[in-house]
């Protein structure tokens, strides 16, 4: 089954994406709510990374991990700042976009405290979400965490769901064999997911993510592509620079 890439590609610009530092998300994303009607629910997804010959690090022995990550909101909106926490255990952030079951981490307490533990850098699940408020719990089923002091200007960061991962690989595994190979490089890295649907609250926007053990060279770059696997043979992959697509 082939899907028109133009209905799913989000901002691909025809240029290889430069990777910086040790952690980089793809410039582009796929909205699962657009993808599912096109290919059907319960399809495994395949992510391919095609590195350029410049995919290197100045550190000998550096490694990198390729992952397909999902967020309930756009990755650029995954950090919620200016959050108010009340002793009624209700957290307020207008238009937060989160649903019950989403995994969040408190990185700035804003003075808030909880009974029997430390709030800083602690992970929670969202419960009782409305358009502008939510509560958090140690368990997806509750109960809500008991806040013993209120907080202002707190920060919560949405934690991604990892749908597929290579594990840590030597950078040589990501490197193109030779410049003339271009998009047909034998240095392609591929990962596959289990069947994916859009019922999980944390799985909406899909991104590729590359994380290196040491900073990558400033010229390091790669192409990403996301495709579906219907189990009826592999569809041809076309590598759209700096973007996701389904062909």
**Predicted local confidence at residue 52, as pLDDT:** 76
User: Residue 62: is its pLDDT beyond 80?
Assistant: yes
**Domain 5-73+161-228: assigned CATH number:** 2.60.120.1110
Name the residue among 154, 156, 217, 193 with its Cα closest to residue 66.
193
Supply the mean pLDDT for the chain.
82
DSSP string, 44-95: -EEEEEEE-TT--BSSTT-EEEEEEEEESS-GGG-EEEEEEE-TTS-EE-TT
3-state DSSP assignment of residue 16: coil
Q: What is the mean pLDDT of residues 140-148?
A: 93
Residue 230, pLDDT score:
56
What is the CATH code of the structural domain delimited by 79-158?
Answer: 2.40.30.180
How far is 199 from 15, CA to CA, in rounded Å? 33
Q: Can you give the pLDDT at residue 100?
A: 94
Looking at per-residue pLDDT, the higher value among 41 and 210 belongs to 210
Find tokens 């019922």 and name the residue. Answer: 199
DSSP structure class, residue 117: B
Outline which parts of the chain fall under CATH 2.40.30.180.
79-158
Among 17-21, 92-96, 103-107, 122-126, the minimum mean pLDDT is found in: 17-21
pTM recorded for the entire structure: 0.84
Closest by CA position to 244, among listed 205, 216, 197:
205
Q: Note the pLDDT of residue 177.
A: 54
Where does the chain hold its CATH 2.60.120.1110 domain(s)? Answer: 5-73+161-228
Question: Residue 206 to residues 60, 68, 217: CA-CA distances in angstroms?
Answer: 31, 7, 26
- Mean pLDDT of all residues in 207-220: 91
Distances in Å between the Cα of 84 and the Cα atoms of 61, 89, 139, 235 are 44, 10, 21, 48
Average confidence (pLDDT) over 190-208: 85
pLDDT tens sequence across 146-186: 999 999 999 999 999 999 999 999 988 887 654 444 444 45
The DSSP line for 197-222 is -S-STT-SEEEEEEEESSPBPTT-EE
Per-residue pLDDT at 242: 53
Higher pLDDT, residue 234 or 42: 42
CB of 198 closer than 8 Å to CB of 41 = yes
What pLDDT does residue 114 have?
93
Q: Tell me, what's the pLDDT at 155?
A: 97
What length does the chain have? 247
Mean pLDDT on 63-82 = 94
């Amino acid at each position: 089954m082939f899907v028109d890439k133009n209905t799913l590609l989000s901002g691909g610009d025809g240029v290889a994406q430069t990777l910086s530092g040790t952690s980089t998300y793809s410039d582009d994303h796929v909205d699962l709510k657009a993808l599912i009607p096109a290919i059907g629910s319960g399809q495994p997804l395949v992510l391919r990374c095609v590195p350029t010959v410049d995919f290197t690090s100045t550190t000998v022995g550096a490694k990198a991990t390729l992952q397909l990550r999902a967020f309930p909101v756009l990755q650029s909106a995954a950090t919620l700042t200016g959050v108010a926490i009340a002793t009624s255990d209700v957290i307020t952030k207008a238009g937060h976009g989160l649903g019950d079951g989403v995994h969040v981490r408190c990185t700035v307490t804003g003075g808030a405290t909880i009974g029997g533990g430390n709030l800083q850098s602690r992970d929670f699940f969202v419960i009782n979400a409305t358009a502008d408020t939510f509560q958090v719990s140690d368990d997806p089923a509750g109960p809500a965490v008991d806040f013993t002091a209120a907080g202002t200007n707190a920060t919560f960061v949405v934690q991604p769901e990892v749908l597929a991962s290579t594990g840590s690989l030597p950078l040589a595994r990501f490197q193109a064999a030779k410049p003339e190979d271009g998009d047909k490089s034998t240095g392609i890295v591929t990962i596959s997911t289990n069947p994916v649907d859009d019922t999980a609250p944390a799985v909406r926007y899909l991104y590729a993510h590359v994380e290196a053990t040491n900073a990558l060279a400033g010229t390091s770059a790669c192409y990403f592509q996301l495709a579906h696997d219907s189990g009826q043979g592999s569809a041809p992959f076309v590598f759209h620079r700096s973007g996701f697509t389904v062909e």
